[in-house]
Every structure is written in structure tokens, then in C-alpha cells.
Structure 1
Amino acid sequence: MPVSTSLFDLTGQVALVTGGGSGIGKACATALLQHGAKVVLGGRTLSKVEEAAQELDALGDDSGEDPVAVPVQLDVASDDSAEAAVKFAMDTFGGLNIVINSAGIMCKKPTFDLTGEDMNSLYNIHITGALRVSQAAGHIFREQHQGSIINIASISSYMSLTEVTAYACAKSGMMGLTHSLANEWAKYGIRTNGIAPGFIPTDINRKMIEGTDRGRRILEHTPMARFGEGSEIAGAAVYLASPAASFVNGITIPVDGGYLASGIGDSVAPWEAEK
């Protein structure tokens, strides 16, 4: 007997995705749209989210009369911008049900050289930025007693990586924010969960891991012996946003090709084939 797809049906739902112009944010927005949701793509660079929204809108129905994906300029470092983006979603689609906090930046430098400004900058985007958007949307969710917040954490929320201390601390903080909101806001009908992607080449990390010794060592430690793709993260987002996860609250799902499970296994180092 085929499994019903209704558990993952997001028809009638509206999602706001920060960092929606590229990478994991765009992939998650695409998957939500493909499961019936309408999406608002938020990003600091308006032209980038405009281009992404145009691409995603083409995936909607053939009538072309009503958009299913729209862009909004959103700087998660600004309270006013976060509130304006939520209002825009409400005004455009008449509701809001899902928020994905995917906006992020990277800082790679030896920890001895790390400054307080570096740390504060990443915290302001990742943690405080996610809080700003969650609070702005949370007022709507509390009033309707329904809403799903999904925070994009990282594999570095669980383990250390050299020379990305500020990023790792910020992403660990995303897990703490997820736990706190899940505990405090569940009584308002709001579920808060997270996703911890493994190594997915995106605009902020591609030069660090593709074709580098760092990337080789990552693959050596990944049982599936490859990097992931944004679309492989998006399935977890659909699940967490959908009725299938109606009793799931306060968890962060690693999607990492087995990286966290890796111990001593078969070598996948490039030099193995030469022996």
C-alpha cells in the first residue's frame, strides 16, 4: 500500500526563509514550494533574492496569475527589517506559518587573531538575527496558536573545526536558541527545531573545502565520501515544517553523510587507490 503524502503536504502554508537567495536557504525554500507552500525569500541583497524568487515562481502553477515565491530585502541584523519582512509576508500572502532562519556569514582565521568584533558580528547575524526574525514571526504564531521555526545550525554545533571559532560558537548558540524557544513557546502552539548540515559547498565556504587539503580531510572523515547538496538538507526542512513532525519540538537533526558517526573505517583518501 503506498504511503500517503498528506503528512508532508504544505498546501496553504506560507514560509519566510532568511538567506533565501542561495545555498541551503534557497534549497529549503524550493522544497517547501514543491510541497505546496508559498515562500518569501529574504536577503540583504535584493537583486539576489529577486532572481531566486523568479526562478522558484516558475515552479508554481501554469496560470502565472498569482505568485508563489516573492523576494523581500531583509537584513537580520536590523529589528525594523525583520519586522518589515514579516509584515510583507502577511500582506502578500495573508498569513505566515513557517520561518527558516538560514542567513549566515563566515569568519575563518586563527583563534589567536580573532577579535571581539568578529565574534559579535557572527553572533549578530546567526543568533540575534534568528531571534529577531523568530520574535517578529512569533507574535503572529502566538496569535494563531500555530507556527514552525526551523533554525539552520551546523555540524560545527557538535564538534570543533580549526580556525572557524566564531562560526562554531554562533552555530552552537543556534542550538541553544532552538532549545529555549522550543521550551518556552510550545504553549503558544509554536514548534522550534533545527537542522545541522554537514559539509555543503555554498557561497560562504566553497573556497575553504573544494579542492583543498581541508576538504580532503573532511571527505576522509565522511563515510559517504562526498560533500552534500542543499537539496539533501531541504528534506529535513519539509519534514520539520509538516504535519509529520507535529510532535517534534526542540531537536536538531544532523544531515551530514555520517560525519558525526565516523570513527575508524575504510579509508577513502585519494592516495589509497595508488597503493
Structure 2
Amino acid sequence: MPDQIADLSDLRGDCAQCFGLCCVALPFAASADFARDKPAGRPCPNLQGDHRCGIHAELRTKGFTGCTVYDCFGAGQKVSQLTFGGQDWRTGPKDQVRRMSDVFPVVRQLHELLWYLTEARGLDAAAPVHADLGRALERTERLTRQTPEELAALDVAAHRQEVNVLLLRTSELVRAGIAGTKGKKGKGKDRRGADLMGARLRGADLRGASLRGAYLIAADLTGADLRGADMIGADLRDADLTDADLTGAFFLTQPQLNAARGSAGTRLPRSVTRPVHWAAAG
């Protein structure tokens, strides 16, 4: 792991440097997303001795769709190689699994914040708060480098609240310069936390809209214009983004995109990649 976060590429999972922590530390319950129950701290039965998933190429067909929409933002390798000094939970002390299971979700949350802060600091329109964003980024990175005991006791919610103030200001600055419907500025389209489950938004003009925490589950966004929209925390599970334009959309993460449906015609910001299953669906 680098000493400091340079860009978003430092915040992508590297399974080769991780001890399969997402397959061990996290719990899941039998549902449409997971074929079986698994408690926290118990290795998934699909986890192999080399810490790789034995059914990775078949997760969707085997009933583990939930695994395909998860991303640790690089927290897995941080905890494996830095926090625990490269000591495998299989060969470490008896309580190693428990300690890693306590720490991994904390670092994962901090790394998600690092993603947002890094992206925000790269947005030209957010120049008035770049210095504050830089300080928050440095502080968050320092927190990720604490001891296992300090991390397990960390109040992540409080830190997230502090960071969120800056992210909200960033959103206002970015969206203020984006023209929306009938020439109105995007900052007037506040759909934060809106219940848009199954909504018919085909071709909708959502330029510069705030969709923070909006429920867009199974929404029809075919051909929708989402340029410059704030997507932080938006639930895009099974949302149809076929031919939608998300150019310049910000705070959009790979897990959100992986949970949605799309096409070769869907235009995306450079911070994310087109999910493999989109091509398969097409």
C-alpha cells in the first residue's frame, strides 16, 4: 500500500494482496442475493486455500449476486498487509479471525470516504473547498493506519458526519454550474432520499440533480440524462441505465453500477468501468 492516497486507483480492491477478508469477516443471510447464510468471522465455503473464490466466474448463476456488487475500496489489502503486517488469519493467533472481522468493516468505511474525498478534490468546481478536502483526506488516511484496537474502537459515524459536511458543499458547488431543464441550474433538483423505486424516468432530464440516498431500485432510467448528478448513496439495484448518460456524474461507485443494468450505449464517468454482466445481458 502507498503511504498516501494519490488517486482513485489506490482505492481499488487487490485480491492478490488480501486474505479473502470480505469472504470471512462479513455476514450474509440467505436471500435473493445470497444462496445461504454465513455468520461474521466464518469463512465462506466457496473460499479456497489461496484466498480466492472458487466460483468467482459463476457467482450470479450460483445465487451469490450480492458478492458481485461488493467492493472493499482497497480496505482488504490495507488490513491484510498493513494493519496485521501480512499475517494470515489461517496461521495467525487463535483470535486473529475475530480481530480482523472487527477491523475490516471499519477500514472499509474509511476507504469509501477516501474515495469520495479523493474524487471531490479532483473536481475543478470544488476549488473553494480543495484545501479542506485535502485536510480531511489526510486525516481519514491517518485513521486507517491505526492499531487494530484503535480501529475497532473508532467512532466511524462521527467521522463520516464531519466528512459529509464537505461532500455536501462539494455537491452544491459542482451542481450549481450545471444547466438543467429549461435553463434552470441543477442545484434546484434536490431528490435526496427520494423514493423512486420502480419510477418511470425514461428520458428524464436529471442534469445536476442531487440523488443522494435516493431509492432508484428497478427504476426505468433508459436514456435518462444524469450528467453532473450527485449519486452518493443512491440505490441503483436493478435500475435500468440502458443508453443513459452519466457523463460527469460524481460520487458514483463501482458497486452501485454493478447492481444496475445497462448497455453499450450507457455513457459513464471515467471513475468507473462498464460491468461485465451488462454485455452478457445485451
Structure 2 length normalisation: TM-score? 0.28
**Bigger helix fraction:** 1
